[in-house]
Amino acid sequence: MMQRVGGCLVLFVHAACASAPAPNVDPQPQPAAVVAEPPQPASPEARPADVASIEAIIAALYDVISGPAGQDRDWNRFRSLFASGARLIVAAPAQNGRVPSRNMTVEEYVVSADPFLKRDGFWEREIARRVERYGNIAHVFSTYESRVKSADSPPFSRGINSIQLATNGQRWWVVTIFWDFERPGNPIPREYLPPE
Task: Report the candidate in 141, 134, 129, 124 with the shortest Cα–Cα distance to residue 178.
Answer: 141
- Backbone phi, psi, residue 76, to 5°: -65, -35
* pLDDT for the residue 24: 42
**CATH fold of 48-192, please?**
Nuclear Transport Factor 2; Chain: A, (3.10.450)
Q: What is the pTM of this model?
A: 0.77
* pLDDT for the residue 14: 31
For Cα atoms 57, 106, 147, give the angle at the middle one, nearest 5 degrees. Answer: 65
Task: Report the candidate in 117, 107, 55, 111 with the shortest Cα–Cα distance to residue 82.
Answer: 107
For Cα atoms 90, 122, 188, give the angle at the middle one, nearest 5 degrees. Answer: 45
Asked if residue 162 lies in contact with residue 175, where contact means CB atoms within 8 angstroms, the answer is no
Longest dimension (CA), the chain: 75
* pLDDT for the residue 40: 53
Asked if residue 77 lies in contact with residue 51, where contact means CB atoms within 8 angstroms, the answer is no
* pLDDT for the residue 128: 98
| Predicted confidence pLDDT, tens digits, the chain (196 residues) | 433 333 333 332 233 333 333 344 444 444 555 445 445 556 799 999 999 999 999 999 999 999 999 999 999 999 999 999 999 999 988 888 888 889 999 999 999 999 999 999 999 999 999 999 999 999 999 999 999 989 999 999 999 999 999 999 999 999 999 999 999 999 999 999 999 8
- Helix (H, G, I), strand (E, B), or coil: what is residue 130? strand
- Helix (H, G, I), strand (E, B), or coil: what is residue 156? coil
Could you give the residue range(s) of every CATH 3.10.450.50 domain in the chain? 48-192
DSSP 49-105: GGSSSHHHHHHHHHHHH-B-TTPPP-HHHHHHTEEEEEEEEE-SPPTT--SSSEEEE
